[in-house]
Amino acid sequence: LQIKEDKKLLADGSERITKKKALIFPRYHQLDVVRRLIADVQENGSGVNYLIQHSAGSGKSNSIAWTAYRLASLHNEDNASVFSSVIVVTDRTVLDAQLQETISGFDHTMGAVETIGEDKNSKDLRDAINNGARIIVTTLQKFPVIYQEVDKVAGRNFAIIVDEAHSSQTGSSAMKLKSALADTEAALREYAEIEGKAEDEIDRNDKLVQEMITHGKHPNLSFFAFTATLEMFGTPWDDGTFHPFHIYSMRQAIEEGFILDVLQNYMTYNTCFKIAKNTDENPELPESRATKIIKKYEKLHPY
């Protein structure tokens, strides 16, 4: 059940907002991906990365919303929450309005969803994480400001749903996200064991230690990436290749009529030129250079 706001501009210039309830049934691939993700998390716990490769026209916002709510309410055999918080991260500087509205539209418990939009700052994000908000929707760019201000995360697991995770996920903002949420104590213990040192001997500001914290997997972080780079979030196979956890292809979206086939009316054409020699000198030019000059002349010529 989704609640949508309908805004109507009145004659006096004021806005009237009415809320409408709509019952939404998931399409097969949406139901399938949510069920498979939840089943895998129940079996393997936190610390696993998932790549969901869904095309445009797949209803990705709804898939993300349903996944977020199911993960937020997921409990283990001891009836303890698997994740302290589910953090939905979008890479757009302005928080994606559609995604924010979709997730908030399913919110039936006041305060269950915390959206850190344009009207809020990084400190609001810090407080939401520290207070254990069930679902947090934020931009990636807010993490560098607060990555050292998040309270102790030992014993706390986080599900991070990443919308459109491409090259930006390897950048400094993504590293600060990991620094903020990763259980660094566990990582430092592991590093101390490898180096054969006591934990208090390890310099936390050492570049090598920081690299180890911000790269690789962490047992308390699960990433759910909707369209992303295979090597970072894909499932590794025995042959060393990486594969998506779930696929809804562009071909399928076209066949089901949710997006248009842009190649259906695709046409190619050849352009021919007849060059007339009208100068006394006929300079010899490499064919590629001559072709570029002719095309440029033809494109820029007024008639």
| pLDDT tens digit sequence for 57-116 | 888 888 999 999 999 989 888 888 899 899 998 876 655 677 777 787 776 665 678 888
CA dist 252 → 43, 199, 260 (Å)? 29, 52, 11
Residue 30 confidence class, pLDDT cut points 50, 70, 90: very high
pTM: 0.72
CA dist 59 → 29, 37, 115, 142, 185 (Å)? 10, 17, 20, 26, 39
Segment 281-295 shows an average pLDDT of 83
Would you tell me how many other CB atoms lie within 10 Å of the CB of residue 141?
17
Which backbone phi and psi does 102 adopt, to 5 degrees? -65, -50
Asked if residues 246 and 52 have their Cβ atoms less than 8 Å apart, the reply is yes
pLDDT at 167 over 50: no
Best CA proximity match to 171, nearest among 115, 91, 52: 91
The span from the CA of 59 to the CA of 42, in Å, is 25
The span from the CA of 163 to the CA of 152, in Å, is 26
pLDDT, tens digit (0-9, with 9 covering 90-100), for 213-262: 666 678 888 989 886 555 667 787 888 788 889 999 889 999 999 988 98
Question: Three-class SS of residue 274?
Answer: coil
How is residue 134 annotated by DSSP? S
pLDDT at 152 over 90: no
Would you tell me how many other CB atoms lie within 10 Å of the CB of residue 36?
14
CA dist 102 → 61, 79, 243 (Å)? 7, 28, 28
Best CA proximity match to 204, nearest among 213, 196, 195: 213
What sign results for the dihedral spanned by CA atoms 81, 28, 229, 129? negative
